[in-house]
Amino acid sequence: MKKTFTILLLWAIFFPAFAQDTVPNCYDENPLSVNKPYIKSYFTDSWRMLSEPARWQGSDWLKAGGFAAGWILIYSQDEAIYDFFQRNRFPFTDNLAKYFFDPLGIGFYSIPMLASMYVYGLSANEQKPKTVALLGLKAWLISGVATQLIKQITHRHRPHQTDPVNPYIWDGPFSDISYTSFPSGHTVSAFSIATVLAEAYKDRAWVPVVSYSLATMVGLSRINDTQHWATDVLAGAVFGHLVGRFVFRSYTYKNCIRMQAMTSDGYPGLSVRIVLN
C-alpha cells in the first residue's frame, strides 16, 4: 500500500510537466514507438557510447581528467565519509532508505512512473511524454546492463563485506561474484532516468531540481545502508548522467535538428534550426 501511494505521489509531482505543450515540438513529428527501429537503437546507441572516447577532443579529455582527479581525492577519504554517515545514521534515515530511496533506485517507483507517462501519452494523444518514457526506459536498461558488466570486472568489496572496514579491496575479474560494490547500481539507475526527465523538461526549472535531488538522495542512502562507498556513488551518478544525456541527445540530434535548404533571408543555403521544446 505504501509503495502504491509513493508511485501515485511521484506521478502527482511530475504530472504538471507532462501536460500538453502549447507550441509544436519535434516529438509530435518524430515520436518513438515500441517497434523495430526503437529496439535496434538500443544496440546502436550502446555501440556509439562505447566508442565515444575515440571521438573525444581536448576539452573532453580535460573533463575526464578532472573527474578522475576528484574521484581519487574522494577515494582517499572513502572510509572517513563512510564513518560520518554511520555516526549520523538513525531509524528515520533507515526507514526513508528502505521504503522510498531503495525502491526508487531499483526502478520500483520510476519504471511504473515511466509506464504511466507512456499510457498518458497514448490516451491523450501526446507524443512527448510517450517518447520521453521510452527514452527513460532505454537509458535505464542500457545503464543497468553496463553497470553489471563493470561490477563483474572490478569486484570491489562493499563496506559491510569488510572487517575491519576497508574501502581498498578490489578483487578484479574472475573472482567471487558477490563482491559488486563498484559502481552503485541504484545510483546509476536513478541518475539515468533523472537525466532524461531533466533534459526533456528543462524548460520547467523545477523538474531538473526535483529529479537530480531525488537521484542524489538515492545515492546517499546507499552509503547510509552500508552498501556502497562514496566513490561508488560518485561514479554511479556520473555514469548514469552520461548515459541518460547520451540517449536523450542521440534522439534529439536525429529528430530535433532540422536541416533547411533555404537560409532565413530566402537565398539557397544550409541553416540549422534546433527545436528542443
Dihedrals φ, ψ of 261, to 5°? -80, -10
Of the candidates 262, 260, 256, 255, which has an alpha carbon nearest to the alpha carbon of residue 272?
A: 260
Angle at 215 between CA 196 and CA 3, to 5 degrees: 100
pLDDT in tens, 64-81: 999 999 999 999 999 999
CATH topology of domain 2-14+31-52+65-274: Vanadium-containing Chloroperoxidase; domain 1 (1.20.144)
Confidence band for 30, pLDDT divided at 50, 70 and 90: confident
Name which residue leads in pLDDT, 19 or 143.
143
Q: Is the pLDDT of residue 263 over 50?
A: no
User: Residues 110, 252, 198, CA angle at the centre, nearest 5°?
Assistant: 35
61-75, 192-206, 253-267: range with lowest mean pLDDT: 253-267
Query: Residue 257 — φ and ψ, nearest 5°?
Result: -110, 110
Three cell numbers at 93? 534515515
